[in-house]
Structure 1
Amino acid sequence: MPSFAVHVSDQRNRIMISVAGELDFDTCPRISRVTDDVSLGDRTLCLDMAGVSFMDASGLTLLRSLYRNTEAQGGTLELSGLQEQPRRILELTATDAPGVT
């Protein structure tokens, strides 16, 4: 199994979550456990995906859920560092949106 890591940094106006590894059925629950404990308020949740080379449908479902949850809390979701394959998945499913960098 490839290595996988999640790092959380709680900053003043944002919470940064850096992910390294594949975003798939096996790893998404680990991110969910981290994000379920995050209280955003009106802050930004920035998901740094520079270390994510592969994302499947589970990863896409996770991103949609994160988007809904951050909006419900009054925050915003920002994706950064998208590599080619995850970016292509977002484009093909028409889920690429503002905040994706």
Structure 2
Amino acid sequence: MNIQVQLLEENSVRRFKIVGEIDAFTAPILKERLASAEKEQGLKAELDLSDVDYMDSTGLGVFVGFYKTIKSNGGQLKITGVNRRLKRLFEITGLDEVMDIETGEGGDNDATV
């Protein structure tokens, strides 16, 4: 499976639109794309996961690393568009208590986790 990462900058916020599946194969690509911005001081970043249907623990690891680096540089991270399945991963790991995570609107029809 492929992954696409589109970068938009709007009102001093870097928005990363992530499309595809995040797993052991695609996580290194995602990590590389995010690394281009993570060292900036005071970075405000938003990761849009509304077009991500699957993510494993490797993907969570990429987000944790990105979050830690941004926070240590005085920045902020918001994760948006999270469907039920992904939300459950963040809840199980307790990351929903640490990170700013917003669920997706509509299209959240995954009844099973």
Normalised by the length of structure 2, the TM-score is 0.81
Partner of 1:87: 87
- Counterpart Cα distance in 2 of 1:12 and 1:30: 26
Higher strand residue share: 2
Partner of 1:16: 15
Partner of 1:99: 100
Deviation at 1:12, TM superposition (A): 3.6
Partner of 1:67: 67
- Unaligned ranges ≥5, structure 2: 103-113
Ranked by relative contact order (alpha carbons within 8 Å, sequence separation 6 or more), the top structure is 1
Partner of 1:40: 40
Which structure has the greater CA radius of gyration? 2
Identity %: 22
The runs of at least 4 aligned residues of structure 1 exceeding 4 Å deviation read none
Normalised by the length of structure 1, the TM-score is 0.89
Encode CA deviations 1:25-71: one digit per residue, 9 max, x unaligned: 11111111111111532131100000111110101111110110111
On the 8 A contact 2:7/2:16 being kept in 1, the answer is yes
Number of aligned residues:
100
On the 8 A contact 2:5/2:17 being kept in 1, the answer is yes
On the 8 A contact 1:53/1:84 being kept in 2, the answer is no
